[in-house]
């Protein structure tokens, strides 16, 4: 009984690539939600924060943060000392993990270096399990930590990390993990096809629907505001939104459009806005803190999520910003792609259009702008959908329960033996 209680009091480690990160509010919401449910956490980041602004809610996180140092200069001694401790604790296991990492080439050895440092830190912090966000590089490191230390790990898989990864690598990590959760049914089906026998659960993201509340709406003025929020990258389809705005202007529709976000597509989108003569109608407003984003939702006549599947296969799951807008009762127009139809039901709680169809997008936006009664109905139903199916604490109880289960025995692939070592060429 005492050992079970001690197990529950030991913290769960949460591993991310960068923390905090302005565009990853779903991770922040998950951390805050798990803490509200009473789960002790410790946070680990593979790299320091790069954003110059952060959401104020970051200050509400109780868990301490450790950012892995770069393996360079004076820090190399720290890495060497920690690896030595791991080797002395379990030489065969250490050599087996090294052989496995070497099989992944230079990147595998780089991950191994970080995994050894992190494994010792987790031991010192008394962590009972490591949960990695993204099934790409953080899960690569978590898998090696597990091989080095026998610490169980689990995975949250999202979007790009699934669709731009090698299926064999995904299957290997899913079978090694205690469990994998993913945020859409489309993702779950994709991963289940890749690794049918791996423990896998769908767990929708949620939002704080008291923070994102219709009472904060402040519709005013005679020029309707169209809002879109997201990273400025190809999968967001923001060029289609700009083309749709050009069509609205040609029709003589009064409107203004604000696109919130940052990313590699910024220069191209600015050039497109200028080429289409939309400098007075469409504005890229850059990075904004959460309260500033909420203010955009509050004043929006329509929220638009024009996502697409990018040429390299990258795609959205269910964007959290879409959940936020719907929780505030904003009528939404979104693309019929990936996991978005799991949230938006066409004509019931929003409007769906085909991706890359600027004319259909312009028609949908214009119809909503001219139909305030329909907008009110769609916004009300959107709010109901989020509160009933995408409540943060309700959905996180699934993850909390999975994390609190007693760890099963490590997979045979991780329980390395001398025989396995001899088979490594």
Decide if pLDDT at 4 tops 70. no
pLDDT at 237: 98
For the chain, the average pLDDT equals: 92
Task: Report the CATH fold assignment for 2-206+394-423.
Answer: Rossmann fold (3.40.50)
Decide if pLDDT at 415 tops 50. no
**Residue 154 forms beta bridges with which residues?**
131
pLDDT at 222: 82
Decide if pLDDT at 119 tops 70. yes
Under DSSP, is residue 228 helix (H, G, I), strand (E, B) or coil? strand
Q: β-pairing, 256-260 with 225-229? A: parallel
Per-residue pLDDT averaged across 82-104, rounded?
97
pLDDT at 8: 56
Residue 184 sits at the vertex; the CA angle it makes with 264 and 228, to the nearest 5 degrees, is 40
When pLDDT is cut at 50, 70 and 90, the band that residue 73 belongs to is confident
Per-residue pLDDT averaged across 158-168, rounded?
96
Provide the token pair at 225. Answer: 């505001």
User: At 13, which helix (H) or strand (E)?
Assistant: strand 12-18
Under DSSP, is residue 346 helix (H, G, I), strand (E, B) or coil? strand
- Tally Cβ neighbours within 10 Å of residue 159: 22
Ranges for all domains in the chain classified under CATH 3.40.50.2000: 2-206+394-423, 214-389
Decide if pLDDT at 423 tops 60. no
pLDDT at 184: 97
Provide the token pair at 168. Answer: 């064999």
When pLDDT is cut at 50, 70 and 90, the band that residue 167 belongs to is very high
CA 347 from centre of chain: 28
Percent of all residues in the chain with a pLDDT value above 70, rounded to a whole number: 93
Per-residue pLDDT averaged across 396-422, rounded?
61
pLDDT at 72: 80
Q: Spelled out in words, what is the top-level CATH class assigned to the domain 214-389?
A: alpha beta
Alpha helices in 126-184 (DSSP H): 137-149, 160-163, 167-176
Give the N- to C-terminal CA distance of the chain in Å, as an integer: 45
Chain segment 347-377, per-residue pLDDT in tens: 999 999 999 999 999 999 999 999 999 999 9
Provide the residue count of the chain: 425
Q: Tell me the whole-structure pTM to 2 decimals.
A: 0.90
Decide if pLDDT at 409 tops 70. no
Decide if pLDDT at 293 tops 60. yes
Chain segment 237-249, per-residue pLDDT in tens: 999 999 999 999 9
Strands of 272-389 (E only): list them.
282-286, 302-305, 332-335, 351-353
CA atoms of 410 and 424, how far apart (whole Å): 20
Indicate the DSSP class of residue 340.
G
When pLDDT is cut at 50, 70 and 90, the band that residue 172 belongs to is very high
Q: β-pairing, 153-157 with 41-47? A: unpaired
Decide if pLDDT at 160 tops 80. yes
When pLDDT is cut at 50, 70 and 90, the band that residue 252 belongs to is very high
What are the CA-CA distances from residue 103 to residues 100, 134, 415, 425 (Å)? 5, 22, 17, 9
pLDDT at 74: 80
The residue with greater pLDDT, 221 or 199, is 199
Strands of 158-208 (E only): list them.
180-182, 200-202
């Amino acid at each position: 009984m005492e050992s079970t209680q001690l197990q529950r009091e030991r913290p769960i480690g949460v591993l991310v690539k960068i923390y905090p990160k302005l565009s990853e509010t779903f991770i922040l919401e998950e951390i805050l939600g798990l803490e509200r449910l009473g789960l002790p956490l410790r946070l680990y980041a593979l790299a320091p924060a790069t954003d110059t602004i952060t959401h104020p809610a970051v200050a509400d996180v109780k868990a301490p943060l450790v950012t892995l140092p770069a393996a360079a200069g004076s820090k190399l001694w720290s890495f060497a000392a920690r690896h030595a401790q791991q080797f002395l604790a379990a030489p065969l296991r250490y050599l087996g993990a090294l052989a496995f990492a070497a099989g992944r080439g230079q990147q595998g050895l780089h991950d191994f270096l970080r995994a050894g440092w992190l494994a010792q830190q987790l031991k010192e912090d008394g962590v009972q399990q490591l949960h990695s966000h993204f099934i790409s590089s953080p899960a690569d490191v978590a898998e090696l930590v597990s091989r080095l230390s026998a610490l169980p790990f689990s995975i949250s898989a999202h979007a790009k990390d699934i669709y731009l990864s090698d299926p064999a690598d995904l299957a290997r990590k899913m079978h090694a993990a205690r469990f994998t959760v993913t945020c859409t049914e489309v993702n779950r089906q994709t991963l289940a096809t890749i690794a049918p026998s791996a423990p896998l659960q769908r767990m929708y993201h949620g939002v704080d629907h008291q923070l994102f509340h219709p009472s904060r709406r402040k519709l005013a003025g005679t020029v309707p505001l169209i809002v879109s929020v997201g990273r400025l990258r190809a999968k967001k389809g923001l060029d289609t939104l700009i083309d749709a705005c050009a069509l609205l202007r040609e029709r003589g529709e009064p409107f203004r459009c604000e696109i919130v976000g940052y990313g590699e597509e910024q220069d191209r989108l600015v050039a497109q806005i200028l080429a289409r003569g939309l400098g007075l109608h469409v504005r890229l407003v850059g990075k904004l803190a959460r309260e500033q984003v909420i203010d955009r939702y509050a004043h929006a006549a329509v929220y638009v999520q024009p996502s697409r599947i990018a040429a390299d296969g990258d795609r959205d799951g269910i964007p959290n910003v879409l959940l936020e807008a719907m929780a505030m009762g904003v009528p939404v127009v979104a693309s019929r792609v990936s996991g978005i139809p799991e949230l938006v039901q066409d004509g019931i709680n929003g409007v769906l259009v085909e991706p890359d169809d600027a004319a259909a997008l312009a028609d949908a936006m214009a119809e909503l702008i001219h139909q305030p009664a329909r907008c009110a109905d769609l916004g009300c139903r959107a709010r109901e959908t989020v509160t009933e199916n995408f409540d943060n604490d309700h959905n996180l109880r699934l993850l909390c329960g999975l994390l609190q289960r007693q760890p099963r025995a490590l997979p045979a692939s991780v329980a390395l033996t001398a025989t396995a070592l001899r088979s490594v060429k």
